[in-house]
Amino acid sequence: MYRTHNCGELRIDNIGENIILAGWVQRTRDMGGMTFLDLRDRYGVTQVSFNQEVNANLCMAARKLGREYVVQVEGKVIERESKNQNIDTGAIEIQASKLTVLNASETPPFTIEDETDGGEELRMKYRYLDLRRKPLRNNLELRHRLGFETRRYLDQHRFLEIETPYLIKSTPEGARDFVVPSRMHNGEFYALPQSPQTFKQLLMVSGYDRYFQIVRCFRDEDLRADRQPEFTQIDCEMAFVDQDDVLNTFEGLVRHLFKEVKGIELPEYKIMTYEEAMRLYGSDKPDLRFGMPFVELNEETQNKGFGVFDAADLVVGICAKGAADYTRKQLDKLTDFVRKPQIGAKGLVYCKVNEDGTFKSSVDKFFDQEALASWADKMDAQPGDLILILAGVKEATRKQMNELRLEMGNQLGLRNPNDFAPLWVVDFPLLEWDEESKRFHAMHHPFTSPKKEHLGLLDTDPEKVNANAYDMVINGVELGGGSIRIHDQKIQSKMFDLLGFTKDEAEKQFGFLMGAFKYGAPPHGGIAFGFDRLAAIFGGTDSIRDYIAFPKNNAGRDLMIDSPSTIAPDQLNELGIDVIDSNE
């Protein structure tokens, strides 16, 4: 037997027991006649003591152990003289009577401690060592628990977990496909799924009215921070449901996860239309842990002689409660913030509502006290508040104001990671115009159904058509999104038409789905959650990479296995791929 217990479970109650532990050497310390060894495994750390006087040889052997050696220790559980409150096993230690080195280790390239000295790159290269650290272990445990509870909830609600293939052909979710060349069919390619979208819809046609899968998806997108080329979704689909049924079911899932995994009762979900979200928060995923909604001030500010406002499509303000005491320097910093190239505003106008009810603004030249009072009135600003205003082209200004609002939320401490503000954003537009390709793109995906009352607009004003599409948002993060699908072959055909597919192209790419719809497709809809992101939200951090055992770096590389990499000419040959050597 390698071990009787693990390194995290021995307590005062075990005192006097003879036990065997196995694990990794976290560190050893020599203290005169005693040597202490911290032994680590997945479950924790246990202190082992070696007494020079009792067994000099054993003590000598312990001193020779290097960091990360794998050892087995036999001994007796005794009470510790000085207890360590910081660890679960801190009340006891093991008085060693036998030590076996199971394997030696080279000195690791960084310290395997909660706070490590290893830089990001180095830790990615030696991910298997980084994974020994407790913070990462906690993250993977959290991820496991979330997956497990997801399965439990969905199983209780009669969902079946059904696998769908990874070697498929293109599914249009708006990104590029990763492709896999076929050896058996030279010149032909599989595509890796961007999501199992079409398969889950086919399962509905097959009568599996509640499907889910915790599934890997692949999207060849230009990498941004916090994106992974392969990521995991909780992918779900239901038949014979309307939008409310889907929202209720998955609000239930997320509520269940918060309760079981975090012990938190989620507050009620708000529901907001896309139009409202954009108008009031300049974002389709507003952080509702705090208020500070946008107030449009065109009427109050235009035609008063201030050129910047007069020329603007939109003049919009937010009211930062209690921030009238911002200093010149703080206000200058805010101006610098909105002027950063990533944000792109030209400038920032402020107006302080002083405690005595007078106003002080950066545009006093153009606006007298009465004019400023009308802003404060519209914005419901009280003495002590600070009004911040941006102006310009509508869409861009809203985006900039979204950034400023979030920044003010940070500065005023309104974005507590332990508060959760869940929200459904509904009624997304069906289509969005793409200037580059001069065509409509599906805002969600081509299978999303238009609102029934907007069907008539499809021919005349397609840009005005709203969709039965919804996103779940918590604290400004989009956790998931989905839609009620088109199940009528004629509407689906029209949709492909609007998206600029010729009949032939549509048939070639989606003939199978349109074919299936001829054989009794039930009304259906679904949703998919970003599982990595869900874990990150639960863990209270931003980086999804910390919740993936073996992630890629920001450049889409796996530094540990060195991928992507070239393959041998023979292999290429077999695949029928000619390599064009640019040196020739």
Q: How far is the CB of 29 from ligand ASP (least distance, A)?
A: 52
- For residue 223, give the DSSP letter: P
Element containing residue 491 per DSSP (H, E): helix 489-498
Least distance CB 241 / ligand ASP (angstroms):
13
Q: Which of 195, 201, 466, 493 touches ligand ASP by CB under 6 A?
A: 195
> What distance in Å separates the CA atoms of residue 206 and residue 208, rounded to the nearest whole number?
6
Q: Which of 118, 172, 317, 482 binds ligand ASP (CB under 6 A)?
A: 482
How far is the C-alpha of 361 from the C-alpha of 304, rounded, in Å? 15
- In the complex, the smallest distance separating the C-beta of residue 83 from ligand ASP, rounded to whole angstroms, is 51
| Minimal distance, residue 570 CB to ligand ASP, in Å | 37
Q: Least distance from C-beta 527 to ligand ASP, angstroms?
A: 5
CB-based contact 424:469 (threshold 8 Å): no
Contact residue for ligand ASP among 118, 282, 526, 551 (CB under 6 A) = 526
Question: What mask, x for binding ligand ASP by CB under 6 A, covers residues 426 to 465?
Answer: ----------------------------------------
Distance CA 52, CA 58 (A): 8
Q: Using CA atoms, how far apart are residues 283 and 403, in angstroms rounded to an integer?
A: 9
Candidate residues 229, 286, 409, 481; the one interacting with ligand ASP per rule CB under 6 A = 481
Q: Does 468 bind ligand ASP (CB under 6 A)?
A: no
CB closer to ligand ASP out of 400 and 483: 483
What is the nearest approach in angstroms of ligand ASP to the Cβ of residue 399? 22
CB of 163 to ligand ASP, least distance (A): 16
Taking the CA of residue 450 as centre, how many other CA atoms within 13 Å lie in the half-sphere pointing to its CB? 25
Q: Which two tokens stand for residue 66?
A: 């290097």
Question: Closest by alpha carbon to 292, among 189, 169, 415?
Answer: 415
Nearer to ligand ASP, 213 or 301 (CB): 213
Q: What are phi and psi of 479, to 5 degrees?
A: -85, -30
Residue 28 or 448: the one with the smaller Cβ distance to ligand ASP is 448
Which 356-395 residues touch ligand ASP, going by CB under 6 A? Answer: none
Tell which positions 117-176 bind ligand ASP, by CB under 6 A.
173
Q: How far apart are CA 506 and CA 493, in angstroms?
A: 8
Choose between 212 and 294: whose C-beta lies nearer to ligand ASP: 212
Angstrom CA distances, 391 to 98, 273, 361, 388, stand at 75, 24, 15, 10
Contacts of 574 (CB under 8 A, 6+ apart): 183
Judged by CB under 6 A, the residue of 528, 534, 537, 544 near ligand ASP is: 528
- Which one of the spans 117-125, 296-304, 336-344, 477-485 is the region binding ligand ASP (CB under 6 A)? 477-485
Q: Which is nearer to ligand ASP, 206 or 298 (CB)?
A: 206
Q: Which residues pair with 295 in a beta bridge?
A: 317
Please state, in angstroms and rounded to a whole number, the distance separating the CA atoms of residues 332 and 67.
51
Nearer to ligand ASP, 125 or 219 (CB): 219
Pairing of strands 160-161, 210-218: parallel
| Distance from C-alpha of 161 to C-alpha of 4, rounded to nearest angstrom | 37
Closest by alpha carbon to 133, among 111, 160, 148? 111
Buried b (16+ CB within 10 A) or exposed e, 109-122: eeebeeebebeeee
Closest CB to ligand ASP among 228 and 483?
483
Q: How many residues bind ligand ASP (CB under 6 A)?
A: 9
Span from 104-112, 125-133, 525-533, 550-558 in contact with ligand ASP (CB under 6 A): 525-533
Question: Can you give the C-alpha Rg of the chain in angstroms?
Answer: 30
Residue (198 or 402) nearer to ligand ASP, CB: 198
Least distance (Å) between residue 126 CB and ligand ASP: 33
CB burial class (10 A; 0-12, 13-18, 19+) of residue 398?
buried
Shortest distance, position 280 Cβ to ligand ASP, whole Å? 24
Based on CB atoms, which residue is closest to ligand ASP, 197 or 449? Answer: 197
Compute the least distance from the CB of residue 552 to ligand ASP, in Å: 19
SS (H, E, C) 278-302: HHHHCCCCCCCCCCCCCEECHHHHC
- Minimum CB separation from ligand ASP for residue 215, in Å? 10
CA proximity to 231, closest of 473, 481, 528, 531: 531
Q: Which residues contact 468 (CB under 8 A, 6 or more apart)?
A: 243, 448, 449, 450, 451, 483, 484, 525
* Minimum distance of ligand ASP from residue 360's CB (angstroms): 48
Site residues for ligand ASP, 197-256, by CB under 6 A, read 197
Stretch that binds ligand ASP, among 25-33, 65-73, 378-386, 524-532 (CB under 6 A): 524-532
Residue 116 has which token pair?
A: 């490590």
> Measured from the CB atom, is 290 or 529 closer to ligand ASP?
529
- Interface residues with ligand ASP (CB under 6 A) are 173, 195, 197, 481-483, 526-528
